[in-house]
A and B are shown apart, each in its own frame.
Chain A
Amino acid sequence: MTHSASLNQTGEGTTDAPRARYLRIATLLGLLLLTSMGLSLALGSFPTSFVEVGHALVTPQDSDIAFIVWELRLPRIVLAVLVGAALAVAGAILQAIVRNPLASPDVIGITSGAALAAVAFLALFGTALSIHWLPASALTGALLAALLVFLLAWQRGISPSRMVLVGIGLSAAMGAVTTLLIVISDDAAAMYAYVWLTGSLYAAQWQDVLGLLPWLLVAVPLCLTRARHMDAMALGDQVAQGLGVHVLHSRLVLMACSVSLAGAAVAFAGGLSFVGLIAPHIAARLVGRGFARLVPTAALIGALIVLYADLLGRVAFLPKDLPAGIFVSGVGAPFFVYLLHRTRYRSG
């Protein structure tokens, strides 16, 4: 971790309790995630036992079960974990930059940009054209939307609150176009678009995992190198600058991390971005403020949420395979209302 423990070593004999608590919680969440992945691997429409799954894992070419485990369930589970982690980290970054606890990747147009591009792709080419191109077009849409919001909000520097306002306006406009496209496209494409918008990991493949993984491998360490800058910026731009933070530069780097994480996650899993709103909050409640502790914790929690949402969608309504987005929202919406209820707004 980039944070040294020195804050609490002032020679007064105070122990570093927050750090110990963080390590404990992160370890617990990590173990919970691993066991949940194991559990998810063993559950599905085709009945499999833990022993069979374990055997299939070590002997990949052996059987039908190996095919189910290696080609159907494992990529989907890994993708769920990566998507959840990416959205959670993207949300944590954004909430810290905007200094508003209700921000999520939605508010700067990422999700609606991806949705518009994906739906436009489906409307233009139908489901016939290789669906492999859908993530690429969604990602392009997400990045373009974020760029547009950024340019429109630019005014001798970037003001987060301006960015949110522009983002909300642009999202509404893109949402309208998306709806229009769904209404005028044929039924099959409209249905597919609808499922995509809800957020689904259906038919995830290793190729998707490999498409998403690089974004995480670059963006998460990069944002962690800026953790202390982020903590300083939480005190306000002027204070941060006084402390020697290059505010604009840091903000651009962190925004780029957030946008690419959210954009990539949405590209492969659709509109699950609610995870980006709630996971950082749960994490903050568990480990407190420091950004370097918040990011890994939020990532683990986001991964768990999407993993369980997808598991529920897969097995709770057999033989139907429901989009994970339904369950993310099902958990997320009440929590969101609860947050609204208890958040005391500070003017800002």
Chain B
Amino acid sequence: MPSTPAKTPRLTGEALHAGYESRRVLDGVDLAVAEGQLTVLLGPNGSGKSTLLKTLARTLTPSAGRVCLDGQDIHRRNTREVAQRLGILPQGPSAPEGLTVRQLVGMGRFPHRRLWRQDAERDARAIHAAMAYTDVAAFAERSVDALSGGQRQRCWIAMVLAQETDLILLDEPTTFLDLKVQVDLLELLSRLAHEHGRTLLLVLHDLNLAAAYADRLVMMRDGRIVTSGTPRDVFTATHLKGVFDLDARVLEDPETGSPICVPTPRRGARPSARPASPTVDRRCIS
């Protein structure tokens, strides 16, 4: 793990309460997003991790508490100025039919352009760099909706990169993708943090991928943060049980040292070479 000097967090949430019309989701959350690191929000469905990300991204306005970006309340700041510092990629974005990759990536320049003031050269450089980094330049002129899921997601990440923000929030960027594609995307994102000094906050579903790639894990349950810290510190059997109600053993990857969880199958669910005994069968039926 690269040593990162502790810098003052630029994005913080203080005593956040937020939710939707009928349902309160966040129940007093404090979070400081660690600078230059990849932080992953983990938690079971309905734990509030996406809601927390949306609140930090100013998509949702908290009912109490506040989100601060560089010391100022994010909801009171000019949204375009925020967009010059903070990029977001929501869950499952969809591009209109026929929009080309280059056009999509170009949209990332929106906060830097004005009707009367445009820096075409800087825009072109940023777009070029973003497409090169995500490796989408090869199909720049094709339409986004014709690409595979993984390629498409790389295009969206390229759009956020073209925005040239230090902070990037991504809501489930790897969901519904093949494992190999998920790994590639996480490699790409962690290089952004470690080699380019960007600050990333992700919501992920896959526990082991989160443990393998996150610098910091934030575990949530019922709208609160249960624990947070490095995977080594917080990715423990006790926390997995407490947060996910998951019975699992946590092992250590002998190569990287990152923790891995292996769910403990309940009795009877385990695939077995021997046929289940008749007594168990009878108990199941009764």
Residues of A near any B CB (own CB < 8 A) = 2, 4-12, 14, 99, 156, 225, 228, 231-232, 234-236, 238-239, 241-246, 288-289, 346, 348
Contacts and interface: CB of A to CB of B under 8 A. Distances in A.
B80 interface: yes
Contact of A6 (B87, B118, B131): B118
Contact of A235 (B95, B98, B124): B95
B93 A239 contact: yes
11 contacts: A6-B124, A7-B127, A235-B107, A239-B90, A239-B93, A242-B59, A242-B87, A243-B110, A289-B99, A346-B94, A346-B97
Contact of A236 (B93, B106, B111): B93
Contacts of B108: 243
B103 A289 contact: yes
Interface string B81-113: 111101111100111111100111011101101
Nearest to B97: A346
Given A7-B106, A8-B102, A241-B58, A235 B111 contact: no
A242 B57 contact: yes
B61 to A, nearest CB: 9
Contacts of B123: 4, 6
A242 B89 contact: yes
Contact of A10 (B80, B97, B99, B128): B128
The residue among A156, A234, A238, A289 with the most chain B CB atoms within 10 A of its own CB is A238
Contacts of B273: none
8 residue pairs, one from A and one from B, having the closest CB atoms: A244-B83, A244-B111, A6-B120, A242-B88, A244-B80, A238-B90, A243-B110, A7-B106
B230 interface: no
The residue among A10, A231, A289, A346 with the most chain B CB atoms within 10 A of its own CB is A10
B79 interface: yes
Contacts, number: 95
Given A238-B88, A289-B99, A9 B124 contact: yes
B115 interface: yes
A289 B96 contact: yes
B111 A2 contact: no
Contacts of B110: 228, 232, 243-245
Nearest to A156: B21
B134 interface: no
Contacts of A7: 102-103, 106, 127
A7 B103 CA distance: 7
A4 B120 contact: yes
A99 B163 CA distance: 24
A346 B93 CA distance: 13
Given A235-B107, A242-B90, A289 B98 contact: yes
A12 B21 CA distance: 49
A235 B59 contact: no
A11 B88 contact: no
Contacts of B98: 288-289
Contacts of B54: 238
A134 to B, nearest CB: 39
Contacts of B120: 4-6, 9
B84 A235 contact: no
A289 B96 CA distance: 9
A232 B88 contact: no
B83 A236 contact: no
B144 to A, nearest CB: 10
Contact of A244 (B84, B93, B102): B84
Interface string B51-80: 000100111000000000000000000011
Contact of B93 (A14, A231, A235): A235
B77 to A, nearest CB: 11
Contacts of A234: 96, 99
B138 to A, nearest CB: 12
Contact of B111 (A10, A225, A243, A346): A243
A346 B144 CA distance: 14
A11 B113 contact: no
Contact of B107 (A12, A231, A346): A231
